[in-house]
Amino acid sequence: MQIGLATLRRRWGATIIPYAFVLPPLIYLGVLMFWPLARQLWMSLTDTQLTNPNVGRFIGLQNYECLLSDPSFYSALKVTLYYTIGSVMLGVTIGLISALAINRPFCGRPVARAILLFGWAVPNVASTLIWLWMYNGQSGVFNEIAMAIGLGRIPWLTSTDFALASIFAVTVWHVAPFVMLVVLAALQSVPEEVCEAARIDGADPLSVFRAVTFPHIRPAVQLVALLVAVWSIRRFELIYLLTGGGPLDSTSTLVVTLRQVAFENYELGMAGAYGAVGLVLALLVAALHYLVEQRRMKWMTQ
């Protein structure tokens, strides 16, 4: 009987312990993520105002109908897509090239690696304020350089021609070091003997990268591209601090517009609809990553 009770306790413990480990993160995600998300989605179906956020009348899909008939929504969506695609392409490409360069042994590599990681290590707000000073039209270092080489003063953040490009530069400075760090870790798993065998067979460096290196680091590149895309869709502080969404809404993404709708127009319900669209975009990016990964796994098993 005693042996039977001990066995029963062990089985009960083996059944309960995994749930005990999973329960805290589930509570954390439920309270701090899923409940606010569900609250936001519900709010997007109401006419809730910032002046009285606890009282909102259910109006169905009217906020989404207004959203789809508003030209500023399509402008924000277009800027968000441009910004996301550009950030992924530039950030991942520069990060990948930096990782390949820093992966080779050379004199001063630890110092070069520390310098390249600086952009990722500095807090976003602090570094963005430094960039804001460098872009300053009167005393910024970029305009000092432009004046020195005869280009004159350039309205980096106040011109519709330069504002988004200026934000791209800051974004890549933030993102590329993280991409470099992830890809650099993946490069450590590439078998050197396979690369050496390819070189002995006469493969040039580009062929070695295409046939040996990239297939090994591709999962890491896909994952980091997914992260950069999702971060770009939801990035707020960098864009808001640099341009506030201007000039003429040329840098106003969905998140920046959401803040304007919620805290300047006092329309929390409509802001919830903007947030729901951003959520759908992030889910579409995740679904695309899933399809690409499934295709890669299928190709590997063939």
Condensed to tens digits (0 to 9), the pLDDT of residues 201-251 reads 888 888 888 888 898 899 999 999 999 999 999 999 999 999 998 888 899
Within 10 Å of residue 184's Cβ, how many Cβ atoms?
Answer: 21
Q: What is the pLDDT of residue 44?
A: 93
Q: Which residue type does 223 have?
A: L
- How far apart are alpha carbons 228 and 4 in whole angstroms? 54
Nearest to 216 by CA among 88, 87, 94, 96: 96
Q: Which two tokens stand for residue 268?
A: 């929390």
Q: What is the pLDDT of residue 3?
A: 57
- How far apart are alpha carbons 269 and 168 in whole angstroms? 31
Low-confidence ranges of the chain (pLDDT < 50): none
- How far apart are alpha carbons 275 and 38 in whole angstroms? 11
Contact between 208 and 200 under an 8 Å Cβ cutoff? The reply is no
Who contacts 282 (Cβ-Cβ below 8 Å, separation ≥6)? 230, 233, 234
Q: What is the pLDDT of residue 1?
A: 52
Within 10 Å of residue 289's Cβ, how many Cβ atoms?
Answer: 17
Q: What is the pLDDT of residue 2?
A: 54
Q: Which residue type does 214 have?
A: F
Within 10 Å of residue 20's Cβ, how many Cβ atoms?
Answer: 9
3-class state of residue 265 by DSSP: coil
Q: What is the pLDDT of residue 227?
A: 94
**pTM of structure:** 0.87
Nearest to 277 by CA among 73, 51, 27, 14: 73
Within 10 Å of residue 116's Cβ, how many Cβ atoms?
Answer: 19
Tell me the Cα Rg of the chain.
25
> What CA dihedral angle connects 193, 194, 199 and 205, to 10 degrees?
-110
